[in-house]
Amino acid sequence: MSKVLKIFLLIGVLSVFPKAPWPQGTECVARYNFKGTSEHDLPFKKGDVLTIIVVTKVMLRDRGERSFTPILNAEFQVCVLPLNSGSSPSRWFHGKITRDRAEHLLHPPETGLFLVRESTNFPGDYTLCVSCEGKVEHYRIIYHNGKLTIDEEMFFDNLMQLVEHYTKDADGLCTRLIKPKLEEGTVAAQDEFSRSGWSMNMKDLKLQQVIGKGEFGDVMAGDYRGTKVAVKCIKNDATAQAFIAEASVMTKLRHDNLVQLLGVIVEENSSLYIVTEYMAKGCLVDYLRSRGRTVLGGDALLHFALDVCEAMAYLEANNFIHRDLAARNVLVSDDNVAKVSDFGLTKEVSSSQDTAKLPVKWTAPEALREKNFSTKSDVWSYGILLWEIYSFGRVPYPRIPLKEVVPRVEKGYKMDCPDGCPEVVYNIMKQCWNLDPAARPSFQMLKEWIQHIIQGRPRKH
């Protein structure tokens, strides 16, 4: 069942809805029944699938009914959610893909893995594709008297109801539906960012000079509608997939000491542009090395330490871990505020841990040994970052060959106090480097300790 509508947002529902009207072509699902508030409104039922195809027309695909009045009321807005949003269970719907493509997506075989696609042989119908005992079965879903059915015995108002039924009972299928094959790729990501209000227009972005180079692409200064921005440019599709996850994480996080995501651009050629606030003074490690002791006093160093700790306490409170905390991944604003950046490895605490190549000198022993990442492994890295700050950007474990770092650390070795570093700060570093993760302080504790050290000392820039 398809209906066509235009949706505007109210401040009261911004936690549920995007920042801007959804674009033409967006599919939505009805979360509640909607009776309409005028004779021109087209009512719908919970679970109905809706598609925005003309901004002022509402249409039922199976009955051809139309409404020509945009629906702008609050009741309607609360009733609808984008079909492929992260909050919706319907990313198993892959649209117009071929039979061969569906079978490719359901490989390797996993009994109960499924997706729904539009039928290529019978336009207007759907196909349920299910992996079962090494094969993929394709079940045609047809319309019958305005209802959807596979066997003409069970009838459903919409795809949501149909899928929900077969997840509970195979009821004639080869297997119960167990695991949805979620829509992936940069095309899906483009839709996702657009629906959640984070999509930007490439026509409004002017790229300027390169300000950084990484393994996966350049970081460039740019101008977006008159605002100076930084842009991470990823041109390879496979690499873009990884950074889409980074951008998705950044949409969930907002703090004065985290580099703020401004938007995302996903091009049809699979290029990805992650647009963030511009940090005029670059990364902290370069800033420390270039300014040195003659420019940066004890107050400045303490406040950099506090800025980073504020950001990490926020991540800790929201059950996120960074996994690559280091001075190179902290940026400095024009007014000397330090902000944590590079969320390429950031994951929710519940996420499975990957086995990517790790920065040995910054990574906690248990994370190197067992891939056991946690907030407490971030605390270890924070201790290393503190040492970087107070040594003005020196590489950790100086004069120790890389291959000897881990064995020595696991035997209890700790770096010496940097020249000029207050003993109270060095003691904090050592507590961060406790071999027992449970014995390390939390970021909230660290924040309170550093605030106590600088209590009563005005901030200087």
- Kindly report, residue by residue over 160-192, the tens digit of the pLDDT: 788 889 998 999 999 999 988 876 655 555 666
- Whether the upstream peptide bond of residue 123 has omega within 30° of 0, thus cis, is no
Domain boundary among 277, 294, 309: 277
- Determine the structural domain holding residue 208 and report its residue range: 200-277
Burial class (CB in 10 A: 0-12, 13-18, 19+), 398: exposed
Q: Is 324 a catalytic residue?
A: yes
End-to-end Cα spacing for the chain: 60
18-to-197, 355, 433 alpha-carbon distances in Å: 5, 34, 42
The pTM score is 0.61
- The CATH number covering residue 272 comes to 3.30.200.20
User: For the residues 299-311, what does the mean pLDDT come to?
Assistant: 97
Task: State the Cα torsion 276-281-285-286 to the nearest 10°.
Answer: 120
Domain co-membership, 176 together with 222: no
What is the per-residue pLDDT for 15?
Answer: 25
pLDDT over threshold 50, residue 24: no
Same domain, 244 and 334: no
CA distance 420 to 399: 20
Hey, what are 111's tokens? 């009994």
393 and 323 fall within a common domain: yes
Q: How far is CA 376 from CA 290, 352, 436, in A?
A: 31, 16, 9
Which of the given ranges, 24-38, 65-79, 381-395, has the highest pLDDT on average?
A: 381-395
Residues 331 and 204 in one domain: no
Q: Is the pLDDT of residue 31 over 80?
A: no
The span from the CA of 83 to the CA of 192, in Å, is 10
- Show the tokens assigned to 150: 């596979």
Is 217 inside a domain boundary?
A: yes
Residue 156: which CATH number?
Answer: 3.30.505.10
Same domain, 306 and 395: yes
Residue 225 lies in a domain: yes
Is residue 288 included in any domain, yes or no? yes
> Same domain, yes or no, for 244 and 331?
no
Which of 41, 324, 342, 378 is catalytic? The answer is: 324
Does 442 fall in a domain? yes
Q: Is 232 annotated as a binding residue?
A: yes
| Bridge partners, 163 (sequence order) | none
| 282 token code pair | 């670059």
Q: How many whole angstroms separate alpha carbon 394 and alpha carbon 285?
A: 8
The answer to the question of residue 262 being in a domain is yes
- Structural domains in the chain (count): 3
pLDDT tens digits, 374-412? 999 999 999 999 999 999 999 999 999 999 999 999 999
Q: Which residues, in sequence order, are CB contacts of 214 under 8 Å at separation 6+?
A: 232
Nearest residue to 160 via CA among 276, 317, 49, 51: 49
Q: Which of 262, 277, 292 is the last residue of a domain?
A: 277
Tens digits of residue pLDDT in 219-232: 999 999 999 999 98
User: Which residue, of 260, 277, 294, is where some domain finishes?
Assistant: 277
Q: Are residues 211 and 249 in the same domain?
A: yes
Specify if 47 maps to a domain.
no
Closest of 372, 391, 402, 252 to residue 317, by C-alpha: 252
* Highest mean pLDDT of the ranges 106-110, 355-359, 411-415: 411-415
Residue 117 has pLDDT above 90, yes or no: no
